[in-house]
Amino acid sequence: MLPPPMTRDWARNLVASEAVASATSGQTEPAAVLVYEKLRRQLCAPVGLDGFHALASRALALAKSEAPMLNAVQITSDARLLGLDEPESQRALAQDGEPGVVLIAHLLGLFLT
């Protein structure tokens, strides 16, 4: 199940905006990780930690089918991403950023549903 093109564009814009902001602030984490963390903090309020964990786990499972590079990524018990900021993952994200965009798009799509 692919997220709608509008949701993917929204995710791409969020990641691109965060990339610009993190470049000026000297952040070293991938922009997709920073976007995910911002969404985690904001979306845990309306759906709770367990609800967000369920959404994030499902989004990751869907994203893995589109972006196999995400196979090493996991969601921790506190709904944080584990593995997306590893050096190997960072190289793949730096090349096109698409795996992170796919994950964020699925997360947004599931939340909106």
Written as tens digits, the pLDDT of the chain (113 aa) is 677 889 999 999 999 999 888 878 877 788 899 999 999 999 999 999 999 999 999 999 999 999 888 998 999 999 999 987 665 555 555 455 689 999 999 999 999 88
* Contact in structure between 72 and 94 (CB atoms under 8 Å): no
d(C-alpha 59, C-alpha 26), whole Å = 29
Nearest to 110 by CA among 52, 66, 70: 52
Query: Does pTM surpass 0.75?
Result: yes
The tokens 């199940």 sit on which residue?
1
